[in-house]
Structure formats: C-alpha cells, structure tokens
Amino acid sequence: MDRLLLEDAAEPVPSFSIDLAGACIRVSLLHGRVRALCRDYLSEGVPALHVRTTQVEIDAERDGPQWSDDYLETLAVYRKIAEWLPSCERMLVHGAAVAF
C-alpha cells in the first residue's frame, strides 16, 4: 500500500525511511532535524507511506515567530504520520506515560 501524501516537491529533498509502529515510512525533508530525531528508527524496508513537507505546511504549524522552520517541520511530519496511522490500525501517542 503506497500512499503518497504529496507528490510534487519543487526540488529534490533528502529522504530516508523509518520503521514506526511496525510500518515503514519514507520521509523527505526541507531541513535535517527530523532525520536526527529519527536516527534510531532508520529502516531499509519498503515504505507504506511517503511523507514530504513543503514550506507552506511548515508555515501552517507556526503560531509565533520564536519557532524555527526545522522545528516546525517536525510538527508537520508528526501530523501527517499521526493522521495516516489509524488507516492501518495503529496510532501515534505523545506522552510521558500511557496506561492501558
């Protein structure tokens, strides 16, 4: 199941794959922070999802001038992955503790 969230990037961007919640996800970026944060999840698997970010999406995450574009890109990537995971019966939870 190859689901592309954004097909056309204006320029080639660095990309890599991660294994998250048992799903391989290809990520293409404008900035490098997400790759650094995902270094422990790098994967060689076949991606089920390809996430690409645009400057418009990064700007949409902005709620003040204090946030850098590379930080806001982490939010844009997180949002796209979190919105996709329920379609494959998974979910992304951000929290210090989860009780089930």
Q: Give the bridge partners for 24, in sequence order.
A: 19
Let me know: does 59 contact 67? Beta carbons within 8 Å.
no
- Digit-by-digit pLDDT tens for the chain (100 residues) are 334 343 444 455 579 999 988 899 999 999 888 999 999 999 999 999 999 999 999 999 998 788 999 999 999 999 999 999 999 898 877 776 767 7
pTM of the predicted structure, to 2 decimals: 0.77
Read off the tokens for 27. 């990520």
